[in-house]
A and B are shown apart, each in its own frame.
Chain A
């Protein structure tokens, strides 16, 4: 059974079909990238899996269990962690408090009225920060961190409840080139050691081809190619999308 199975996912806004009949699967331990031009439907697809958007048609199954149309918090509870395109943590909290917040929620104590939040699950949070390499930043406020470090905070937060699937929307956008590879190496290592899967969208082709086991290409809401990096790179339709409608003509 696949960890994630997406069947015939579709979504229209007004008359505009943003995503149309997209199906794919994702196995444990796998890194799957979704690429495509702006407005192709990547984010819509992503948000339907994460629960931020409700699909018009189609199903999303996690380990065989249907999670279609559940709100984000319920999808999270089923074992999905996600990061966002424009990284931002809870800006009024320190790095370690951000992770503690996720842990509090995971342990069902997010609404406790009396204990001091600062003291709860601190060790667990520090261990996660250690894993993503920013333990030394634990007491800083997120609003003053370097952007690359905020991405790591987001990752630690997404990992807090021991998810089986990570959704990462443009994990390296806005980062300096050198940091991008460091972050993706970290993600790959975590995926391997925990036996989880990651689904990510990405603009940086270096990142996609270096770190994806498999690639989905979406254009105008439809899945037009799928497969290992080399096969996608050679696909003529994919070439055409990236270089314009009649790439052969001028050559």
Chain B
């Protein structure tokens, strides 16, 4: 009962934007012919080019959610092996060679890095996924390295080495599995951070087409008509807010539940 109270409110809050984002594109149906910009014909009016806002809302959540999740997964796929490798290699130069550049990368403000990288690459969802992943790799690698170092120092590792288990089996089989807990605890922060970056970048027009059906792009593009048609801005903005707040509350509830159980 108490545990349900811990993560219940977050889950309820999160379910609204998540259902709209994931099921929306199926519910949206065929696009209507465009009406007048900032008109009040449809349920939520029309947007800056006369599209139905309600339909755009249904279409616009999927990219935000999918890009953020894919970027997080990619950051782990790249950062974790890097962290484990540097922690388990006996060679100090390799450790330094791989980790020092990442330290330097951490000194660059993430949005600055994102804007610069996005200016180089062609715009599109795939680009945004890769860039947000790149921005997150140094932190993931650092956390993985710290966790792997601690695990590699355990007596069990020494025992496996004496039994003649290969380095690869030790790294993937034991260290990798033992790290899962630490990485899962960090997962919430990563997803929420990726969501923040993806939404902010889209809002600034970085890496997305200017008329994309995307909640963040909608907020930016429809701002000029906010006096005439506030829903075109408010509905997507509130969906981004509930998505972020719900995710945070949910992850925090799960974290505290695990801590209490442990």
On whether the two chains bind one another, the answer is no
List B residues at the A interface (Cβ < 8 Å).
Answer: none
